[in-house]
Amino acid sequence: MAPSQIHDAPIPPAPNKQSESRFASLPIPPVDEPFTLNAEFLSDTYPQKVNLGIGVYRTESGDPWPLPVVEEAETQLHRSKNVARHEYLTIQGDGKFLNLARDLVFGFDSGIEPNGTHQQNGDHNKDKENKDRIVSIQTISGTGANRLGAEFLARSLHPRNVWIPEPTWANHLTIWDLVGVERKPYPYFDPATKAFNYDSTVQTLKTQAQKGDVVILHACAHNPTGADPSKEQWTKLASIFQQKGLIPFFDLAYQGFASGSLDEDAFAIRHFMNCTPRIEFCVAQSFSKNFGLYGQRAGALHLVTNPAESESSLPQIALANLSHLVRGEYSMAPRGGSEIVRTVLSSPDLRKKWGEDLKNMSGRIKAMRQALYDELLKLGTPGKWEHILAQIGMFSYTGLTEPQVLAIRQRHHVYMLKSGRISMSGLNPKNVSYVARAIDDVVRTVTLARKQ
């Protein structure tokens, strides 16, 4: 056959069978419950429906609340007409933003308190020494900081295990699964007391954790339980980390939002920073909650190192490695949210207004805790409910079981996670009584069924 005839010959048909995609064996990942629950809530047409699932701040009318100080900062940025406002950041990020973010976490004397005054630490030499230990890099909010920190530790230190509180923010599990470090739970929450399980946590870390293991810690307002260690317990935990050679990884998503105090909410991190012998650790910092910048994705990762005198270049080498990971992942962080945070934190006037916004948000959360507790007591709802007041921050672990949660959703259209976690900001003066009656109804039904 001539060469031209070979090329012109028809291609014989493939065997008569359905082709298989190369992706046919993909596993089905677990669904993200909060977002799935939110979609179910939005499709519900019941007029009295209540959303206690999504972890975002809401006003008393149930609406989003752009912080007034953020709106003012946005106006200032718009009026400045900076021609470079859409340019790339460096791979490390906005240097001024990073310094302000670092000082906010660690309480250095260059910080400004919410009342607009400069913090006087008094030990400038120690501050300078501590600052030199810290490597900071801008991230895509707290999730990006957790992911970058996990990737960096997995590649550089090769920890055998990462100890994750049970329960925890679900994304901790996903992030550490993706970097290939074996995940192990430690019993953070005591269902009987509905509080932090200090004894079991200590026992687990002392007897099972190995030198070089990473331990995830919620710096304040533990998600999902709202149960935090006391200052005394934090101090004792730091000693255990020193003795065992463990690597703390703090997730700081609620500084100032939890208690209304920047200092109170950063106590654990600052204590670990000033421990002797020194502890090396990570802090994933988010500005989603305390600035209301959920969609702007402003955050930072801070790596606290302990270089010897002969290792003065260690922080720069660590930054180079982090930057290398960022470059291959997303090149650099977005600048819109970080510019807002930088504008607020660098202005005494705006800083003071931000402090007022924080007190507004944290104060409303506390008021809703009190209101729900009062309503349950007024109804005589079976069980003890003091934990609602003892817990802190956006979330509360109610103690409701999964069947009770599903019953409340079906009967009363009140949406919460299957674990019984509720977002306190979803409560308001118009619905808190309704929610309390819904809880009372289901709890009484279970209590009566047990007695029969």
- Active site (catalytic) residues: 169, 251, 289
Residue 448 burial class via C-beta count within 10 angstroms: exposed 0-12, middle 13-18, buried 19 and up: exposed
For residue 242 the two structure tokens come to 């020193």
Place of tokens 């506390």: 366
d(CA 35, CA 421): 14
- Residue by residue, DSSP assigns 170-236 as HHHHHHHHHTTPEEEEEE-EETTTTEE-HHHHHHHHHHH--TT-EEEEESSS-TTT-----HHHHHH
3-state class of 283 per DSSP? strand
Cis peptide, bond prior to residue 348, ω within 30 of zero: no
Closest CA to 69 of 344, 414, 423, 294: 344
First to last CA, the chain: 91
Which residues neighbour 376 within 8 Å (Cβ) at sequence distance 6 or greater? Answer: 385, 388, 436, 439, 440
Cα–Cα distance for residue pair 384/194, rounded to 1 Å: 10
The candidate with the shortest Cα–Cα distance to 305, out of 283, 328, 329, is: 283
Chain centroid to CA 121: 28
Closest CA to 130 of 273, 249, 284, 245: 273
Instruction: Measure the CA–CA gap between 59 and 36, rounded to whole angstroms.
Output: 22
d(CA 415, CA 406): 9
